[in-house]
Amino acid sequence: MYRIYLDTNFLIYALYSKRDPGKSKMARGILKKIKLGIYRGVISKLVLMEMTSALRKAIFGNPEEENPSLDDIQTIIESIILSLLTIKNIELFESKQVLPELELAAFLLMYKFPGEVRNNKYRFLHPLDALHVILAKEAKCDAIYTADRAFNQVKSEIHIKLLGHGNISSQG
């Protein structure tokens, strides 16, 4: 079965985001295919940590709405994460490597791919994104699904599917 490592921003679009309905629809379409067993979704504890942080910002940071209480924010986050963890065909991958090995592998990957400049913008692989690549490869994933164009740099390491950039549709 085709194994997809689901990056944090992909999951935020699929499970919560109100910013870009088109990307959200595409991400939800891929999640539906995972539920149907067409794909196998893979996430890591790193994804869960990043999701918690991103959701806190997204839930609290809407100036057009009254901000919920901290207890309500925690309840919303718990609900979203539990809904993710109970989706059929999503695997929570646990690395066999210890943290120093993962850190070294991520550093070497960042060194190998120093970034690129396009339209006067410097795009580079963030340290946590380098860890996602290492984990996806260790989990034997076929691709990383993301909305982060910085991942394009590592497409020689693992297949990258970008949400909303012409290579992911709701059909996959």
Position 97 in a domain: yes
Residue 172: per-residue pLDDT: 52
Any domain includes 172: no
CATH number at residue 117: 3.40.50.1010
Q: Which domain range does residue 129 map to? A: 2-162
This prediction's pTM: 0.87
The closest of 103, 108, 116 to 152, measured between CA atoms, is 116
- In angstroms, the CA 40 to CA 42 distance is 7
Q: How high is the pLDDT of residue 170?
A: 46
Domain assignment present for 169: no
Cβ–Cβ under 8 Å, residues 126 and 147: no
Q: Which of 166, 110, 164, 100 is CA-nearest to residue 133? A: 110
Tell me the helices (H) and strands (E) count for the chain, helix number first: 6, 7
Residue 44, domain member (yes or no): yes
pLDDT of residue 62: 66
Please say whether the beta carbons of 109 and 130 come within 8 A. yes
Residue 171 lies in a domain: no
Cβ neighbour number for residue 106 with a 10 Å cutoff? 21
CA 149/CA 165 separation, integer angstroms: 9
Residue 94 lies in a domain: yes
State the total domains in the chain.
Answer: 1
pLDDT at 125: 86
Residues in the chain: 172
**Domain-located, residue 167:** no
* Domain-located, residue 90: yes
Q: What is the pLDDT along the chain (172 residues), one digit of tens a residue?
A: 999 999 999 999 999 877 788 899 999 999 999 999 999 999 999 999 999 998 888 887 666 777 788 898 899 999 999 999 999 999 999 999 888 899 999 999 998 988 877 788 887 888 999 999 999 999 999 999 999 988 989 999 999 999 876 556 544 5
Three-class DSSP labels, 101-127? HHHHHHHHHHHHCCCEEECCEEECCCH
